A and B are shown apart, each in its own frame.
Chain A
Amino acid sequence: MKYLPDVTSLQFFSEKCTGCARCVEVCPHGVFIMDDKRARIIDRDMCMECGACARNCAFGAISVNAGVGCASAVINGMISGGEPSCDCSDTGGCC
């Protein structure tokens, strides 16, 4: 299952990669593979911007604007004028 094409904010800076393979380990959609002792993105459109790869890259080789891909959170953010907030309250359907 894939979501909208060409929207992800995922960026990979190959020159900073040390080949530790943490990104391959944490990505739940197999976006990264190891290729010649460095990581490489094989399918950007599978990225769900969870941010696990960037958080676990000790070398700053990955950046992504991570966030919960949840419409009600984004709408809450639009209304409050702040960041998307997923207030998973009693009635909230998300999480």
Chain B
Amino acid sequence: MEEIKPKKRIRLGDIKKSGCCGPGNTADSNGSQDNPKQPCCPGNRNKTVESSLPEVSRVSTELSRSDRFEHLRCRISAYRMRYTINPGLYAAGAPDNRSDVFVSANYKMSFDMLRSSLKGMNAWILVLDTKGINVWCAAGKGTFGTDELIKRIQDARLNQVVSHRRVIAPQLGGPGIAAHTVKERTGFRVHYGPVYAKDIKAYVEAGYIATKEMRTVRFTFLDRLVLTPMEINPAMKKYPLYALLVMIVFGLHTSGISFKNALAGGLPFLVLGLVSIFAGAFLTPLFIDSIPPRSFALKGWIAGMVSTLIFSRFTGVLEMNPALQAFTYLFFPLVSSYLALQFTGSTTFTNISGVRKELRFAMPVYISAVILSVALLALFKLRELGVI
């Protein structure tokens, strides 16, 4: 796993005593590191009185162009699976023993969201080892959890670094952290900050009070849009196999396999396959609030059926053999339905009891529909070949 480390590593004492390594010492977080033999503020380092404390890295509160490029890569590919930083304590600005301590995950995107929201502030960032997963998901899995937070507070010797006894955890870390247990075992009180890092400054200025808006998670059109590439990607990985099967069904003849026939007969179904993926993995997530039923399986089915009806006009399905028509209206809307149901994993408001309820009904439907679809294609093929 690739580790991306910020540039400067400095001793805590340097920060507290000198403040000479100002925010100008930015980390561009591109994976490179300074020569560790080249200390920051060597003159002051010798005067350090608290050099027994672990080293901390200073990070910038500005995101660089390469940070933003990496974030884009995370949104569209598996790059995010290895986009991590080292857990531990970091310094943003020039924090001292009265500065706030913000807790984050070691998914670098989470960490970047936090540090870029601390502009003009001097704060500590305590990064938990969440195996490179974002705060909310890691909290659900328990890696952004009580024991890990306690361990990091102790490892960083936070009780020596700061004189107060509060840490600010992201609100969405709540599913993983039992605040009362952290208090019992470390003396630190967990304050839950706002849901969105951008509200941190207002939260701190208000005396660590978040408004109801700051406490509420949203799911805007844009939030959903950035998630769609990772809905489409997995579906498109299965598409070549589907395309191959279509080509075989339409290309196979008693005289052998004809690529020309495969393309001529199969093209409408290749197009409809793409349309159903688009309807389920892109249109449904985007217009989730406009498609009436609350069930995701039904939302996806409606989006898929409407798209299939529209595109079947252009692809000549209406003039086809009844078995192929039946296949079209059975199979493609259910592909969209299945993909839309997968989006429950990315939303901010679906619950597992509801997903279970949907699946109890939907899975038997999907399985029967696949069997029936194969039977319809076989019926068409056997008739075409003159077997029946």
Q: Please list the residues of chain A having a beta carbon within 8 angstroms of any beta carbon in chain B.
A: 1-5, 7-9, 22, 24-30, 46-53, 55-56, 58, 65-75, 78, 84, 86, 88-95
Contact = CB atoms under 8 A, between A and B. Distances in A.
Contact of B294 (A3, A66, A84): A3
Contact of B363 (A73, A78, A93): A78
B180 A58 contact: yes
Interface residues of B, number: 56
B274 interface: no
B176 to A, nearest CB: 7
Contacts of A30: 212, 215-216
Contacts of B359: 71, 74-75, 78
A88 B358 CA distance: 21
B354 A26 contact: no
28 contacts: A1-B347, A3-B354, A4-B295, A8-B353, A24-B215, A27-B215, A48-B349, A49-B351, A51-B140, A51-B175, A52-B175, A55-B176, A56-B177, A56-B180, A58-B178, A71-B342, A71-B345, A71-B355, A74-B356, A75-B363, A86-B137, A86-B141, A88-B81, A91-B234, A93-B230, A93-B234, A94-B346, A95-B133
Contact of B341 (A4, A71, A91): A71
Contacts of B350: 3, 48, 69
Contacts of A68: 137, 140-141, 345, 352
B344 A2 contact: no
B345 A93 contact: yes
Chain B interface SS verdict (over half): helix
Contacts of B347: 1, 69
B20 interface: no
Contacts of B210: 25
Nearest to A33: B212
B377 interface: no
Given A30-B216, A50-B140, A93-B231, A69 B180 contact: no
Nearest to B176: A55
A90 B78 contact: yes
Nearest first, the 8 A-B pairs at minimum CB distance are A70-B345, A94-B345, A52-B174, A26-B174, A95-B137, A67-B352, A58-B180, A49-B351
B352 A93 contact: no
Given A7-B353, A65-B353, A48 B348 contact: yes
Contacts of A91: 78, 233-234, 237
B313 interface: no
B351 A48 contact: yes
B177 A4 contact: no
Contacts of A93: 230-231, 233-234, 342-343, 345-346
Contacts of A84: 352
A24 B288 CA distance: 27
Nearest to B145: A55
Contacts of B353: 7-9, 49, 65
